[in-house]
Amino acid sequence: MRSVSPRGCARGFGVGALLAVSLLNFASVDSEGYDIRPSTAVLAVGLAALLWPAGRRPAWLTPQVRTTVPAVVSLACTVGITLTGELRAFGPGEITVLLCLLFIAVRHCPPSSAVVCGALDAIAGLALPVGYFRSLKDETLGYLVIGLLLIGLVGGLAGYLRSLDFRRTVAVAETRRGERVAIAADLHDFVAHHVTGILVQTQVARMMAASRTDELDPVLAGIERAATEALASMRRTVGVLRDTGPEAADRRPVGDLAGISGLIEGFASPVQKVTLHRDPSVTDDLPHEVQAAAFRVVQEALTNIRRHAGDATEISVGLRCEDHRLAVTVADDGRGGSQLPAAARGGGFGLVGLKERVTALGGTLHAGPRAGHGWEVGAAFPLRKPI
């Protein structure tokens, strides 16, 4: 039986509540004999902005558009009906929708436009009683006071949650920076020391082998070249780890969709066939962090096959895009045979770290046996961040 997450229950309850107050809005306006077309227009636009699924929103439907268009429609209806001499009837549905949009504006709009978008939603909500009563008498003032209290509560809650998001982002960034600095120190103190030692010893050996160049020099030249390349790679890695500026993204270590082909070529052996199935919809312009995570999924899955399924003969790697998500799968037909000693088979920490990396991007990861025999690792990454 498929379980329902608390987040899914909360969203379903919220959708049901919005639809319920919208129906109540229509009933209250219609029972008093007022024109329901203004309320219909506002609720239609507002509910579309609130309930449009995050994964299917077009690129132009930004938080700014979602929060300002319904407010502008509401203000236009209020001003237009007031100019014609009619009363602008409203109900709980319009008020609830505008408050929800105010919450989104304060929490999710960029800082440069959050105040403007939130103010438009607040003004549209406060204009409703003014358009209905047509004067600032006691009833109107009472509605305005209640409206200001609701606006303050909703705006304050959204601002508080936004501050928590900001502090969480800063804390994560500081933690990651500390980890990068620690890794950079380890690379410099240990890896660079050993690689430099290899380079120096190789140069000395080349000088000593001058009389036997045909036998030894080509081999030592290859070692020197490999050591030099490793040292240069180490310097680039240290530079990326220590550099927190935007230009560091241009010098990231290799780890993208294009590198998966080389990863597979280096893994394949005479007794193991690795096949890459890449859908044409998977392009090379996907976000770098998604490409790096997909590369890491394939790398970890192939490593686990070598550790735990050395008897596998058919290995399939799949890349495809579906429903604005990148799906990565690695499947094998092994039965669990391995010739590696127990100490070299790992302790399961690779998948734990991999799951943390995938979920940090809003994706999902699963690993389990296939029907019959074999094992499959799969991950799905959203290609557009939901708001």
pLDDT at 187 over 50: yes
Domain spanning 257-382 has what CATH number? 3.30.565.10
- The burial of 41, by beta-carbon neighbours within 10 Å (0-12 exposed, 13-18 middle, 19 or more buried), is given as middle
- pLDDT tens digits, residue range 123-149? 999 888 887 777 666 677 888 888 899
| Contact by Cβ (8 Å): 195, 235 | no
The token duo for 99 is 């408050």
pLDDT at 98 over 90: yes
Residue (of 217, 376, 384) closest to 298 by Cα position: 376
What does the domain layout of the chain look like in residue ranges?
6-134, 257-382
The owner of tokens 């609701």 is: 150
Count, residues in the chain = 387
Residue (of 308, 315, 223) closest to 269 by Cα position: 315
Q: SS in 3 state form for 201-221?
A: HHHHHHHHCHHHHHHHHHHHH
Bridge partners, 134 (sequence order)? none
**Which are the contacts of 368, defined by CB distance < 8 A and separation ≥ 6?**
375, 376
pLDDT reported for residue 324: 84
Residue (of 137, 47, 25, 42) closest to 80 by Cα position: 42
If you average pLDDT over residues 292-316, what whole number do you get? 82
pLDDT reported for residue 327: 93
**What percent of the chain has pLDDT above 90?**
21
Backbone angles phi, psi at 64, to 5 degrees: -65, -45
pLDDT reported for residue 272: 74
pLDDT reported for residue 193: 53
Instruction: Reduce the DSSP state of residue 279 to 3 states and report it.
Output: coil
pLDDT reported for residue 284: 85
- pLDDT tens digits, residue range 56-74? 888 899 999 999 999 999 9
Arithmetic mean of pLDDT over the chain: 78
If you average pLDDT over residues 270-286, what whole number do you get? 84
If you average pLDDT over residues 196-221, what whole number do you get? 62
